[in-house]
């Protein structure tokens, strides 16, 4: 018996060595942790239950029969994060660069299937070079199986991808089909084909950082939802994110103890809006004052900053915040902002997370760049996403709600449940200057008349009361009571039920 146990220990120790000491050292020298060190940080201490430690590849081409490593380049299993079940697969770059063989794919597919059956999130940690080249079509088939599970799990369980090294091929396509992608600055890259292939095919010389580093993907391509300084910070933040999310679409989002009472007014909000309507203010201040303890997990913080998206909690329960940001491009809606917010809204709707929307939007961004870039369809994505969402929706207009953007931003007409406005709200087809120049074009050369017309327009339209008279707003509220109003509103919507016409699925303008 003693020998058998020794043999298990020996085999397990060999598996835990992955690609060996030299490659582990190289991993550390690049500022990266190993797969097992990552598991330790991600999960609650001692909670990891590993599967398939001894799985090996079955390839015999190119001398591969002499290079079998137990585990085959991916550590898989389940554990808990703050007591809640998660499944995970963590690529081991020290074994064939974390590349995917048929056996490696079977390990991933096993945890994907278990996560789906048992209703728990899957976290994939990527540090890998895509399909294992020596395995040919078997590797491609393996990816196909992983991709199919990504698609079937979408909207059923949260899927999170954490990019912690150079990732190519299938190791970027699978993440692309998950709900969120996070990266580590300076050590992680994502590209379909790496710089060498780029040079061969297009003659373009580009560094990995410029082709697919965290900066590119969080500011330009919007592939990644956030980036962190190092592995430890990134994994710790993933624990924080999981705390906001329900385990599946069958469960309600988790609730955590909240210490900030809702009855207490925040007088500072009464002066958040500057007297000059063209002066910006920071909408994040409002979010932080409405969310429990100011705890806000922002999604896509560095992309399309003219709209803010992220998770917070109200009375301990998760909500998704969507808010125009007057500090950037006056909070205008453009293609990027619309796409960013639409995807976030749809995630929240999939997983029963109520939406709280703050509106200060001067309209859609005009110009050829936007029109050629498909603003019509991108803007429609957000309109579509807000309208189809059946989760509780509470909207508060703080200042401008002009034109189509008024409709889009979770207006009453887009089936929002409760629509509030602050007394500073201005709801109109457009701002005074543009409106007067169009409807009183004949007076354009008479400054006195134009000033008079402008004043008349401002008095008539640039307030919340016309919309309130029509019932398009449910109430005009004092800024200081916003948190209380929203919290009580959410309480009233807890048992919301809506019927939707039968359909296989909708056809959101992609
Ligand atoms: C087999 C691989 C591998 C792969 C890396 N390795 N990628 N082995 N198949 N795809 C091995 C290397 O041989 C090396 O082994 C070790 O992993 C580390 O790789 P390095 O190149 O030394 O590391 P680095 O310089 O950091 O570069 C990492 C990399 C690069 C950027 C990921 O290795 C790379 O470009 N790999 C190929 C990427 C690729 O084109 N993959 C196929 C994509 S197609 P040793 O023994 O020296 O440690 C695909 C299809 C899926 O995925 C379908 C999509 C729709």
Residues 361 and 469 in one domain: yes
Residues 405 and 445 in one domain: no
What are the pLDDT digits (tens) for 248-294? 999 999 999 998 889 899 999 999 999 998 899 999 999 999 999 99
Cβ of 387 below 6 Å from ligand 1: no
Beta carbons of 164 and 127 less than 8 angstroms apart: yes
**Residue 96, pLDDT score:** 94
Beta carbons of 262 and 315 less than 8 angstroms apart: yes
Residues 118 and 168 in one domain: yes
**Residue 28, pLDDT score:** 97
- DSSP string across 471-486: TSSSEE--GGGHHHHH
Instruction: Tell me how far apart the alpha carbons of residues 435 and 439 are, in angstroms, rounded to a whole number.
Output: 6
For residues 29-48, give the mean pLDDT: 97
| Structure confidence at residue 76 as a pLDDT band (50, 70, 90) | very high
Measured in Å, residue 97 CA sits from the centre of ligand 1 at 6
* Nearest atom within ligand 1 for CA of residue 144: 53
CA nearest ligand 1 atom 36, residue:
129
Residues 170 and 200 in one domain: yes
Residues 47 and 151 in one domain: yes
CATH code at 19?
3.90.226.10
Backbone angles phi, psi at 190, to 5 degrees: -135, 120
* Nearest atom within ligand 1 for CA of residue 94: 48
Beta carbons of 373 and 333 less than 8 angstroms apart: no
Rg of the Cα atoms in the chain: 26
Query: Does 129 participate in catalysis according to the annotation?
Result: no
pLDDT over 90, % of the chain: 87
How does the average pLDDT of the chain come out, rounded? 95
What are the pLDDT digits (tens) for 79-103? 999 999 999 999 999 999 999 999 9
Asked whether residue 59 carries a pLDDT value surpassing 90, the answer given is no
Place of tokens 């500022």: 31
Measured in Å, residue 183 CA sits from the centre of ligand 1 at 19
Residues 441 and 369 in one domain: no
Query: Does 169 participate in catalysis according to the annotation?
Result: yes
Element (H or E) spanning 109, and its range?
A: helix 102-118
Query: Does 481 participate in catalysis according to the annotation?
Result: no
The answer as to whether 9 is a domain residue is yes
Residues 353 and 228 in one domain: no
Domain boundary at 225, 242, 259, which? 242
What are the pLDDT digits (tens) for 384-406? 999 999 999 999 999 999 999 99
Distances (CA, A) of 71 to 101, 168, 174, 206: 11, 21, 20, 34
What are the pLDDT digits (tens) for 299-310? 999 999 999 999
Beta carbons of 402 and 365 less than 8 angstroms apart: no
Measured in Å, residue 149 CA sits from the centre of ligand 1 at 23
Cβ within 8 Å of residue 308, ≥6 positions away: 283, 284, 287, 298, 321, 322, 323, 324, 325
Asked whether residue 65 carries a pLDDT value surpassing 90, the answer given is no
What are the pLDDT digits (tens) for 342-352? 999 999 999 99
* Nearest atom within ligand 1 for CA of residue 194: 35
H helix runs in 414-472, sequence order: 432-439, 447-461, 465-470
Nearest to 463 by CA among 476, 453, 480, 450: 476
Cβ of 97 below 6 Å from ligand 1: yes
Residues 201 and 273 in one domain: no
Nearest to 262 by CA among 292, 306, 225: 292
Angle, in degrees to the nearest 10, between helices 447-461 and 432-439? 120
Cβ of 130 below 6 Å from ligand 1: yes
Cβ of 212 below 6 Å from ligand 1: no
CA nearest ligand 1 atom 23, residue:
97
**Residue 224, pLDDT score:** 98
Measured in Å, residue 129 CA sits from the centre of ligand 1 at 4
Alpha carbon dihedral 185, 188, 193, 195, in 10-degree steps, equals 70
Asked whether residue 459 carries a pLDDT value surpassing 90, the answer given is no
**Residue 416, pLDDT score:** 98
**Residue 441, pLDDT score:** 87
* Nearest atom within ligand 1 for CA of residue 131: 52
Pairing of β 317-324 and β 355-361 = parallel
Asked whether residue 47 carries a pLDDT value surpassing 90, the answer given is yes
Beta carbons of 328 and 368 less than 8 angstroms apart: no
The answer as to whether 259 is a domain residue is no
- Its domain, for residue 111, covers 2-242
**Residue 66, pLDDT score:** 82
Extract the tokens encoding 157: 């369980």
Cβ of 129 below 6 Å from ligand 1: yes
| Structure confidence at residue 39 as a pLDDT band (50, 70, 90) | very high
Asked whether residue 74 carries a pLDDT value surpassing 80, the answer given is yes
The answer as to whether 375 is a domain residue is yes
Domain boundary at 242, 275, 307, which? 242
* Nearest atom within ligand 1 for CA of residue 197: 40
CA nearest ligand 1 atom 30, residue:
129
CA nearest ligand 1 atom 5, residue:
97
Cβ within 8 Å of residue 293, ≥6 positions away: 258, 259, 260
Measured in Å, residue 169 CA sits from the centre of ligand 1 at 9
pTM for the full model? Answer: 0.95
SS (H, E, C) 235-248: HHHHHHHHHHCCCC
Q: What is the largest CA-CA distance in the chain?
A: 101
The answer as to whether 453 is a domain residue is yes
**Residue 439, pLDDT score:** 87
Q: What is the DSSP letter of 366?
A: P
CA nearest ligand 1 atom 43, residue:
169
Residues 286 and 375 in one domain: yes
What are the pLDDT digits (tens) for 143-186? 999 999 999 999 999 999 999 999 998 999 999 999 999 999 99
Strand partners, 396: 358, 420
Measured in Å, residue 15 CA sits from the centre of ligand 1 at 21
The answer as to whether 497 is a domain residue is no
| Structure confidence at residue 510 as a pLDDT band (50, 70, 90) | very high
Measured in Å, residue 184 CA sits from the centre of ligand 1 at 19
SS3 463: coil
Residues 353 and 408 in one domain: yes
Give 501: exposed, middle or buried? Use CB within 10 Å, 0-12, 13-18, 19+. exposed
The answer as to whether 50 is a domain residue is yes
Asked whether residue 437 carries a pLDDT value surpassing 90, the answer given is no
Residues 107 and 163 in one domain: yes
Residues 359 and 413 in one domain: yes
Q: How far is CA 404 from the centre of its chain?
A: 25
Query: Within 10 A of 354 (CB to CB), how many other CB atoms are there?
Result: 24
Nearest to 493 by CA among 434, 422, 415, 399: 415
Nearest to 307 by CA among 319, 292, 321, 290: 321
For residues 19-41, give the mean pLDDT: 96
As for how many domains the chain has, the answer is 3
Asked whether residue 444 carries a pLDDT value surpassing 90, the answer given is no
Best of 31, 74, 98, 129 for a ligand 1 pocket test (most atoms within 8 Å of beta carbon): 129
Per-state percent for the chain, helix, strand, coil, to nearest 5: 45, 20, 35
The answer as to whether 93 is a domain residue is yes
The answer as to whether 249 is a domain residue is no
Place of tokens 């200057």: 433
Best of 91, 93, 97 for a ligand 1 pocket test (most atoms within 8 Å of beta carbon): 97
Query: Does 404 participate in catalysis according to the annotation?
Result: yes
What are the pLDDT digits (tens) for 195-249? 999 999 999 999 999 999 999 999 999 999 999 999 999 999 999 999 999 999 9
CA nearest ligand 1 atom 38, residue:
129
Element (H or E) spanning 197, and its range?
A: helix 195-202
CA nearest ligand 1 atom 54, residue:
170
CA nearest ligand 1 atom 37, residue:
129
């Amino acid at each position: 018996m003693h020998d058998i146990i020794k043999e298990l220990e020996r085999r397990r120790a060999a598996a835990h060595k992955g690609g060996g000491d030299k490659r582990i050292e190289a991993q550390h020298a690049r500022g990266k942790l190993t797969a097992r060190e990552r598991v330790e940080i991600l999960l609650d201490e001692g909670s990891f239950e590993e599967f398939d430690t001894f799985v090996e590849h079955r390839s015999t081409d190119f001398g591969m029969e002499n290079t079998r490593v137990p585990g085959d380049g991916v550590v898989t299993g389940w554990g808990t994060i703050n007591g809640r079940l998660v499944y995970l697969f963590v690529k081991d770059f020290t074994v064939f660069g974390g590349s995917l063989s048929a056996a490696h794919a079977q390990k991933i597919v096993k945890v994907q299937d278990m996560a789906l059956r048992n209703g728990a999130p899957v976290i994939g940690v990527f540090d890998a070079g895509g399909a294992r080249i020596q395995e040919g079509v078997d590797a491609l088939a393996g990816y196909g199986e992983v991709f199919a599970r990504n698609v079937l799990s979408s909207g059923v369980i949260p899927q999170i991808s954490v990019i912690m090294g150079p990732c190519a091929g299938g190791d970027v396509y699978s993440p692309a089909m998950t709900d969120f992608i996070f990266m580590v600055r300076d050590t992680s890259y994502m590209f379909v084909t790496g710089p060498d292939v780029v040079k061969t095919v297009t003659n373009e010389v580009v560094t990995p950082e410029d082709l697919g580093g965290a900066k590119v993907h969080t500011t330009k391509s919007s592939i990644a939802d956030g980036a962190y300084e190092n592995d430890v910070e990134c994994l710790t933040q993933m624990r924080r994110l999981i705390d906001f999310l329900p385990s599946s679409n069958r469960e309600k989002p988790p609730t955590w103890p909240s210490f900030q009472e809702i009855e207490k007014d925040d007088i500072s909000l009464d002066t958040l809006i500057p007297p000059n309507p063209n002066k910006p203010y920071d909408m994040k201040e409002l979010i932080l004052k409405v969310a429990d303890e100011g705890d806000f997990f922002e999604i896509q913080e560095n992309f399309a900053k003219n709209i803010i998206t992220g998770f917070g909690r109200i009375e301990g329960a998760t909500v998704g915040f969507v808010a125009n940001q007057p500090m950037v491009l006056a909070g205008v809606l453009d293609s990027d902002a619309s796409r960013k917010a639409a995807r976030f809204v749809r995630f929240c709707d999939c997983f029963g997370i109520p939406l709280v929307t703050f509106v200060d939007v001067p309209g859609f961004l005009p110009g050829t760049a936007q029109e050629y870039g498909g603003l019509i369809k991108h803007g429609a994505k957000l309109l579509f996403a807000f309208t189809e969402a059946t989760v509780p929706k509470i909207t508060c207009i703080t200042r401008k709600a002009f034109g189509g953007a008024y409709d889009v931003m979770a207006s009453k007409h887009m089936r929002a449940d409760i629509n509030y406005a602050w007394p500073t709200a201005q709801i109109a087809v457009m701002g005074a200057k543009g409106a007067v120049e169009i409807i009183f074009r004949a007076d354009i050369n008479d400054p006195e008349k134009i000033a008079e017309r402008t004043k008349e327009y401002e008095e008539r339209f640039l307030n919340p009361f016309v919309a309130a008279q029509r019932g398009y707003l449910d109430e005009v509220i004092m800024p200081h009571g916003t948190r209380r109003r929203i919290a009580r509103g959410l309480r009233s919507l807890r048992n919301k039920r809506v019927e939707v016409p039968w359909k296989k699925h909708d056809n959101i303008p992609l």
